[in-house]
Amino acid sequence: MSGRRFILLGLVLLWELATISFAMAAPSFERRIWTRAEGAPQSAYGIAQDADGVLWFATVTGLYSFDGAHFTREEAVYGHRLPSNNLVNVVAIRGGIAVGYQFGGVSTFTRSGARHYTTADGVPAGSVGALAVDGAGTLYMGSSTGMARLDAGHGKWTAMAGLGASPSFIMWTQFDAGGTLWTVANANLYAMPKGAGRFHHVAALPQNSWPAIVRGQASVYTANGQLTRFSSSGVPETIRNTVGYNRENTLFEGPDATVWAWLNHGTTVLRNGADGVLHAGQTFEGGGLPGRMANRMLVDRENNLWVTTLDGVERYRVRRLHEVPFPGTELGFLPGQGLGTGMLVATGAKGSVWQIHAAGRKRLPGLTGITAMHRESAGSVWLGGPSGLFHMTPAGMAAWPLPARIGKDFEVQGITTDKTGKLWVAIVRHGLFQFSNGTWTKLPGDLPGGDATPVRMLTGASGRTWLGFTNGRLGELTATGVRLVATGLAGSVGNILSLLEIDGRLLVGGDRGIVWLRGEKAQPMVPAHMPAFLGISGMGLDRRGDLWLHGPDGLFRVAATALAGFWADPAHRLPWEVFNHEDGLRGQVAQIRPLPSLAVAADGKVYYATGSQVGWIDPAAIRRNTRAPTVLVRSLRTRDGDTIATPGMTLAAGTTGVEIRFAATALSIPERVRFRYRLSGVDQEWQEPQSERAARYTNLGPGDYRFQVAAANEDGVWNEAGATLDFHIAPTVWQTTWFRGLAAIAVASLLFALYRWRIAAVARRAAEKTAARIEERERIARNLHDNLLQGVHALVLNCHAVLMRMPKGTPEEKSLGNALARADAVIEETRDEVMNLRREAIKPALVARLDHAIEGLEAAVRGRVELAFTGCVELLGADVADELFYVIQEAIVNSARHSGAARIVVSLHASASGVEGSVTDDGCGMAPDLAQAGRAGHWGLVGMRERIARLGGTLRIDGGPGQGCTVSFSVPARCAA
C-alpha cells in the first residue's frame, strides 16, 4: 500500500512539474487597448504604417491616424482632401499611402500630391476588398468584381487573369516572403509566383475562410478541416495544433515571427512544442466577445503587433519584464536567494514556497506561510512565518516553533545574522529576538519614538547590523543592544522599508525617499524630473554596478555612472530608467511586509515582487528599441484656428501667438518619449517639455522664424535631426518698413514743429521778461536820478558853500575837499549805474574795476590791500563779473572799516571747473552769529550771499574773534560763463 502511495505521489509530482513548468526565455506580451473613449476607430478593416511611422486606419466612417499620442479622424492626407470618408482598406506605398473605398475607386496620397483612380482608369468596379504592394512598389487591388495592377507611369490599371469565373469577388490578397501574390477569390485560394503574369488555382476554401502569411508562407483553414500551410508551389502541409483551430478562428503573425490566433477563448500566442505541434501559450481575454474579435493585424517597424477589433485598437508589445507564472490562488510574493544559485519565492502568510530554476518552478513541501527570508550563505537559508522558523541546508530542513508566548497570528518581519553568527528574528508586535539552538531570547528594552520591532534588518559587508524602524528611526545592533544612529529621517525617509550597503556606504529607503547616511548627515538621493523615489521597499546592486529600486511607481534602474556621480556630488540629480505597467509589471508593491520586494539572483537577474506578481529582468539582456522615432511637426494653431504645418508657410498679419504641435512616432511606449525644441530668435536654449507635445509662443512680431524639434524614444535613442518648420509672420500695415519710415518722418516733423513752437514760446516769455526788466530798470534809474542824485547834488552844493567859507589850507578844509571829491566820484558812478539801467554799457574788465575801486579808498587803507588773480579771470561773463565785483568790494570795505586789519588779501582763480575766490584779513575777526546773520539793519553780508547764490555758488565766512576773517566763495563752471 505504501509503495502504491509512493508511486502515486511520484506521478502526481511529475504531472505537477509538467503542468507548471515554463520557458523562462519565452517572450511574453503586454496588451494596451484604445477604445472610442480615447478616440480610437472602431471596426477598422484596413491598417497601415507609412514611412513616417504614422499608423492609418480605414473605416466606413473615415480615415484615422495615430502618431503615438492621439487618434485623429482625418479629412485630408498630407494636406490633400479625401473624396470620400467611406473607406475599407489602406496600404503603405512609397512616399505615402493608398486607400480603397466602399463604393469603388482607389486614391494614392503623397506629400507632393494625390491621385484618384476610378473605373475610367481601369479600376475594377465595386467595393475595394484588398490592397497589396510588391517589392518594386507596384500597387495591386482587388474588388468585388476582379483584380488589377497599377501602371503608375501611365496612371492606368491592368486586369489580372487566371482567377476563375468572372466576376471574381476578391476578399484578401497579400505577398509572401518569396514574392508570390496570394489571393482569395470566390472562396478559392489562388497564387501568382514572382515574375508570372497570371494566377493559378491552389485550393478550395470554406466560405469566409481568411488566410494569413505566417513565417513567410500562406496558411489557411481549408475545406478538409485542417489548418494548412502552402508553399509558392502550392504544395499543402498540415499545421498540427492542439487549439482546435477552425474557420471561425483567425491566424496571423506577430513580433519575432511568433504565431498568433484569435480563438474562441481570446487572442492567443501559439507556441511550438517539442513535437512541432502548436499549443496555446499566453492568452488575452476577449474570446467569445464580438467586440474583441480581431479584424486586421500589423507588425510595426518597432516590432509591436497592432490588432483592430470591432471595439477599437489593441497593441501587443514584448515585455521587458519576465513574469513567473503562479496559480491564481497565490498572492503576496516574497523573492529571495535560495541554496546555491537558486531563487525562492514565498507566497504570503498562508501560501507555499517555490523554488525557481531555468526549466520552471516547483513547490517545496512542508513550507507554508513564510513572510521573511534570509540567506546566510550559499549553504544556509533561514525562513520564518507564523508557523515557525525554518533552516534550509543541503542536508535537509529543520524547523522550530516561534516563542511559546507568541500566537500563530503574528508574522515574522525579518531575519538576519550578525557578524558573530548570531541569528536575530523580528516578530510583529513583539520586538527583536535572538535565536540559538532552539532557544529564544528577547532583546530587552524599549526604543523611543515608536514600535521596537524592526521593519527591515541588514548585516552589510562592513559587518555592521542595521535596523530600520518606523518614524525614520535607524539603529545599529551592538553588543549591549540597539543604538539609535539617526532619528531625524522621518521627513526625508519616513518609515524605513529598505536598507542597502554599497562599498561601505549605507542607503536608507522608505515611503518618503532614499538617503545616503554619510556619517551623521543624511544626503537625499534626488532623481531627475521627480521629487523623490517614493515607497522604496526593495534595493539591490546588479553585476554591472547598477542600482535597482522597487516602489509603487515601478522598478527603477540607476546606472553605475550616475551612482558614481551621486557619491561625488550628492546634490547631483540622478537620471533613471523605469520599468512599470507598460513593461508588464502589475500589482501593488509591499509597503510593510513581506520585505524586501526585490532580490538579485546569483546569475545577475533582478527579481521583483508585488501583491499579485513576481518576475525578473536580466540587466545584461534588456530588450531595447534601437529605432529613433520620426519627428513630425503636425499643425500650427493661431487665433484664426488650426493649420496643417507646411514648410515656408505665411501666417496672417497681426499674428502674435502660435501653438506648434509636434509628434514622434515611437509607438512602443509613447508615454516615455522625450522632446526638446526651440524657436530661433526667441529661445536661447533648448526647451524640454515634460509631457506636452506642443510649444506655445506669445508676443511674436513679424518676420521669419524657424522651429526645431528633436525626440528620443523610451530607450533614449535620439533623432537629433528631428523636424523643422520655417514660417513667416506677415506684418500689418503699421509694421511695414515704408509705414515705419513715414511714421518716423512724421514724428520728426512733429518734434521739429514742437521745437519751433517751444523756441517761439521761450522767446516770447524772454521778451516779456526783458521788457519787464527794462521797465523796472528805467523806474529804478528814474528814482536814482530824481531822488538820490538830486539829493546828493543838493548836499554837494551845500558842502561847497561851506567849503568856500572855510579858511584855506586848514586840515578841515582839506578833508572836506577830499570828501567832496569822493562825493563827485560817487555821483559819477551812480550816473553810470543809471546809464547802465537805461542801456547796456560796455563795462571795464573785473580786474580794472577792482583796481579803480581800491584807488578810491583812503591811502591808509589802499596800502593794506593785496590782489592775486590767476587763470582766465578776464574771460568771465559781464553778469558774473558784476556780481563778483560787488561781493569783493563789499568784503574789502568791511575788512577796512570794521576789522582793523593790517593786511587784506584778495585772491581770485578762474578755470574750466569754475571760479573760486576769497578775501582774507588778519583783523579782529567776527563772531559766528554775526557772520551768519549780519547786523540788524545792515544788508552787506546778506547782499553778498544773495549775489553768489544768484550765480549758483556758495559763500562762507570763517574766523572767530581775534582770528581774522575769511570770506570765501565758489561758482561752478556752468554758471560762470
Q: Is residue 197 part of a domain?
A: no
Q: Is residue 161 part of a domain?
A: no
User: Where residue 675 sits, what CATH number does that domain have?
Assistant: 2.60.40.10
The torsion angles phi and psi of 862, rounded to 5 degrees, stand at -55, -35
Q: Is residue 40 part of a domain?
A: no
Residue where a domain terminates, one of 701, 718, 735: 735
Report the length, in residues, of the chain: 977
Q: What integer is the mean pLDDT of 600-604?
A: 94
For residue 310, the tally of other CB atoms under 10 A from its CB is: 14
Query: Percent of the chain at pLDDT above 90?
Result: 63
- Is there a single domain that holds both residue 642 and residue 616? no
Could you give the CA distance from residue 931 to residue 908 in angstroms, rounded to a whole number?
A: 21
- Is there a single domain that holds both residue 639 and residue 589? no
User: Where residue 364 sits, what CATH number does that domain have?
Assistant: 2.130.10.10
The dihedral through the CA atoms of 741, 746, 749, 751 has a sign that is: negative
- Is there a single domain that holds both residue 595 and residue 636? no
- Is there a single domain that holds both residue 424 and residue 520? yes
Reported as type and span, the H/E element at residue 776 is helix 737-783
Residues with Cβ < 8 Å from 354, sequence gap 6 or more? 326, 344, 345, 346, 347, 361, 362, 363, 364
Q: What integer is the mean pLDDT of 722-743?
A: 90
User: What helix, strand, coil percent values describe the chain, rounded to 5?
Assistant: 20, 40, 40
Residue 13 pLDDT > 50: no
What pLDDT band is residue 739 in, cutting at 50, 70 and 90? confident
Summarize pLDDT for 863-884 with one digit per residue, the tens: 888 888 888 887 787 778 888 8
- Is there a single domain that holds both residue 603 and residue 668? no
Reading the block at residue 533, the C-alpha cell is 523615489
- Is there a single domain that holds both residue 642 and residue 561? no
- Is there a single domain that holds both residue 583 and residue 484? yes
Summarize pLDDT for 202-215 with one digit per residue, the tens: 999 998 888 999 99
Residue 6 pLDDT > 50: no
Which position has the higher pLDDT, 780 or 187? 187
Summarize pLDDT for 408-447 with one digit per residue, the tens: 778 999 999 999 999 999 999 999 999 999 999 999 888 8
Q: Is residue 728 part of a domain?
A: yes
Summarize pLDDT for 492-532 with one digit per residue, the tens: 999 999 999 999 999 999 999 999 999 889 999 999 989 99
Summarize pLDDT for 320-364 with one digit per residue, the tens: 999 998 887 788 899 999 999 999 999 976 889 999 977 678 899
Q: Provide the pLDDT for residue 781.
A: 67
Q: Is residue 363 part of a domain?
A: yes
Reading the block at residue 250, the C-alpha cell is 483567425
What pLDDT band is residue 838 in, cutting at 50, 70 and 90? low
Q: What integer is the mean pLDDT of 577-592?
A: 93
Q: Is residue 211 part of a domain?
A: no
Radius of gyration, alpha carbons of the chain: 53
Distance from chain centroid for Cα 55: 28
Q: What integer is the mean pLDDT of 543-564?
A: 97
Residue 832 pLDDT > 80: no
Residues with Cβ < 8 Å from 259, sequence gap 6 or more? 214, 215, 251, 253, 269, 270, 272, 278
Summarize pLDDT for 903-956 with one digit per residue, the tens: 899 999 988 788 999 999 988 888 787 777 777 666 778 888 888 888 889 999
- Is there a single domain that holds both residue 393 and residue 490? yes
Half-sphere exposure in the Cβ direction for 56 (13 Å, CA): 28
For residue 75, the tally of other CB atoms under 10 A from its CB is: 10
Q: Is residue 176 part of a domain?
A: no
Q: What integer is the mean pLDDT of 227-231?
A: 93
> Residue 242 has what DSSP assignment?
S
Residue where a domain terminates, one of 735, 770, 801: 735
Could you give the CA distance from residue 862 to residue 803 in angstroms, rounded to a whole number?
A: 26
Q: Is residue 666 part of a domain?
A: yes
- Is there a single domain that holds both residue 607 and residue 581? yes
- The full 3-state SS of 527-587, as one line of letters, equals ECCCCCCCCCCEEEECCCCCEEEEECCEEEEECHHHHHHHHHCCCCCECCEEECHHHCCCC
Could you give the CA distance from residue 766 to residue 774 in angstroms, rounded to a whole number?
A: 12
pTM above 0.95, yes or no: no
Buried b (16+ CB within 10 A) or exposed e, 891-930: bbebbbebbebeebbbbbbbeeebbbbbbbbbbebbeeee
Q: Provide the pLDDT for residue 4.
A: 34
Could you give the CA distance from residue 178 to residue 111 in angstroms, rounded to a whole number?
A: 31
Summarize pLDDT for 249-265 with one digit per residue, the tens: 999 999 999 999 999 88
What is the overall mean pLDDT for the chain?
88
The dihedral through the CA atoms of 915, 921, 922, 927 has a sign that is: negative
- Is there a single domain that holds both residue 479 and residue 404? yes
- Is there a single domain that holds both residue 636 and residue 601? no
> 714: closest CA among 838, 863, 579, 815?
579
User: Where residue 863 sits, what CATH number does that domain have?
Assistant: 3.30.565.10
Number of structural domains the chain divides into: 3
Burial class (CB in 10 A: 0-12, 13-18, 19+), 422: middle
Domain span holding position 581:
333-621
What pLDDT band is residue 22 in, cutting at 50, 70 and 90? very low
Residue where a domain terminates, one of 688, 714, 735: 735
- Is there a single domain that holds both residue 650 and residue 616? no
